[in-house]
Amino acid sequence: MKGFLIVLAGVSVLGVVTTERSSCLKRAVFSSTNFENILTWETEADIPPGTVFDVQYKQYGEKSWLSKQECQSITQLFCNLSRETENFTEHFYGRVRARGCSSSWVRSERFEPRKETIIGPPQVEHVPQSRSIRFLIRPPLTPLRGEDQQQLTVEDIYSKFGAVDYHLIIFNQRTQQQWTKNEHNKEFEVSNLDPDTEYNGTVYICLLQRRSKPQVFWVKTLADKTWILYCLVALAFCAGLVFAATAYVSYKYIKQRSAQPRALVSALSHCSSACRSQNQPCLGLEASFSPCPVWDPHLSLSQVFPAPVPAWPWALLGMQGQGLCQGLSTL
Ligand SMILES: *[C@@H]1O[C@H](CO)[C@@H](O)[C@H](O)[C@H]1NC(C)=O
Ligand SMILES: *[C@@H]1O[C@H](CO)[C@@H](O)[C@H](O)[C@H]1NC(C)=O
Ligand SMILES: *[C@@H]1O[C@H](CO)[C@@H](O)[C@H](O)[C@H]1NC(C)=O
């Protein structure tokens, strides 16, 4: 019994020692963003210089481990297994061993890229107008390639399994109002916004039950320029009115002016005939207009009417003529 206990104690001590000796390498984990799958590991703080690492991987369900050629006898603490784990419908394991300090293989947990990869923030392009903003969302790219060798986005991958949505939270800096929008298209417009106003917000992608990291944006809507257009239209309208009024007045003036001499002549003719009927000389006008003056358009006014003629108003002249005549006839 005593001997058994001693043996047991010896085994435990040996066990502890073995554990301690193999612990120069700590856990190995996959660290994955946008399907860039990197196996990383940690070591004890005091590993001997010159320690190197070997990496192997295998698909879940396979028996044999495969060596990652680029990750043999390496000194860095990570290994890029993106290509080896690119089948996103599969699960994988990775393992690492240190040489230089005592260690056995340290294996990762089962890694399922589609469930575990961190989906980075999308790129957001925005084109502001005065009352709306157009958004164009670009999902993150992955190292994976499609059949046509085109680089796949996370959306290309998840849309094989279900719907992909784009979520937008937008916040009006002036009114402090916030609202959300859920879009199925990468390109969409948010309308009914205030002009010349700053908006901030976040955009993220919902892929199956997962969501991407949010992208934040700040955008300012354009100042509303439609009032300038209204002003221009109003100005043009006013200019048109002024022009029309000027044209009308000029037309009236020209028409009146050409009508005036006729009015004058008829007044003079009335005067002279009135004078003649009373056998009165009409201030010498009788001579020039006798027997009845006929308007000669080639005669200037001064020729027709040698006395200084008041230019305006013509009607007054006519009255003056009549008054003159009446005055004379009373003599
Ligand atoms: C990925 O894995 C699935 C299921 O094991 C298999 O049917 C498919 O052919 C694999 N795709 C590639 C590109 O190897
Ligand atoms: C990992 O490998 C993938 C595929 O070869 C490559 O696109 C990516 O840039 C690599 N990442 C790093 C950090 O080296
Ligand atoms: C916008 O900015 C305000 C601070 O000005 C912040 O409280 C709010 O969370 C931001 N909104 C979004 C959707 O990022």
Residue 53: predicted pLDDT: 95
CB of 171 sitting under 6 A from ligand 3:
yes
Centre of ligand 2 to C-alpha 85, Å, is 12
Residue 272: predicted pLDDT: 54
Residue 296: predicted pLDDT: 56
**Residue 326's CB: how many other CB atoms inside 10 A?**
12
Mean pLDDT for the stretch of residues 113-126: 96
Q: Which ligand neighbours the alpha carbon of 168 most closely?
A: 3
Lowest mean pLDDT among 28-32, 48-52, 285-289: 285-289
Domains of the chain listed by start with CATH number: 18-116 (2.60.40.10), 123-220 (2.60.40.10), 227-329 (no CATH)
| pTM (whole model) above 0.85 | no
Which residue has the least CA distance to atom 14 on ligand 1? 87
- The binding-site residues of ligand 1, defined as CB within 6 angstroms of any ligand atom, are 87, 89-90
Which residue has the least CA distance to atom 10 on ligand 2? 80
Q: Of 285 and 33, which is predicted with more confidence? A: 33
Q: Which ligand neighbours the alpha carbon of 59 most closely?
A: 1
Burial bucket for residue 213 (CB in 10 Å: 0-12, 13-18, 19+)? middle
Ligand 3 pocket, mutate which of 200, 202, 203, 204 (most atoms under 8 A from CB): 200
DSSP code for 118: B
CB of 292 sitting under 6 A from ligand 3:
no
What does the pLDDT look like over 298-313, one tens digit per residue?
655 555 445 554 445 4
Residue 9: predicted pLDDT: 47
Phi, psi of 296, deg, nearest 5: -105, 110
- Taking the C-alpha atoms of residue 179 and residue 167, their distance in angstroms, rounded to an integer, is 11
Rg over CA atoms, the chain: 52
With a pLDDT cut of 70, the percent of the chain lying above it is 71
Residue 44: predicted pLDDT: 86
Ligand 2 pocket, mutate which of 31, 38, 79, 82 (most atoms under 8 A from CB): 82
CB of 84 sitting under 6 A from ligand 2:
no
Residue 330 near residue 322, CB atoms below 8 Å: no
Mean pLDDT for the stretch of residues 275-297: 51
Ligand 1 pocket, mutate which of 86, 89, 112 (most atoms under 8 A from CB): 89
Residue 322: pLDDT above 70? no
Residue 307: predicted pLDDT: 52
CB of 172 sitting under 6 A from ligand 3:
no
Residue 281: predicted pLDDT: 52
Ligand 3, atom nearest to 201 Cα: 13
What does the pLDDT look like over 208-238, one tens digit per residue?
889 999 999 999 999 987 778 888 888 999 8
Average predicted confidence (pLDDT) for the chain:
81
Centre of ligand 3 to C-alpha 176, Å, is 9
Mean pLDDT for the stretch of residues 269-285: 54
- Taking the C-alpha atoms of residue 250 and residue 257, their distance in angstroms, rounded to an integer, is 10
Residue 317: predicted pLDDT: 44
Q: Which ligand neighbours the alpha carbon of 84 most closely?
A: 2
CA proximity to 98, closest of 23, 202, 184, 156: 23
What does the pLDDT look like over 71-90, one tens digit per residue?
999 999 999 999 999 999 99
For residue 221, the number of C-alpha atoms closer than 13 Å in the C-beta half-sphere is: 24
CB of 36 sitting under 6 A from ligand 2:
yes
Residue 274: predicted pLDDT: 53
Q: Which ligand neighbours the alpha carbon of 61 most closely?
A: 1
Lowest mean pLDDT among 148-162, 168-182, 232-246: 232-246
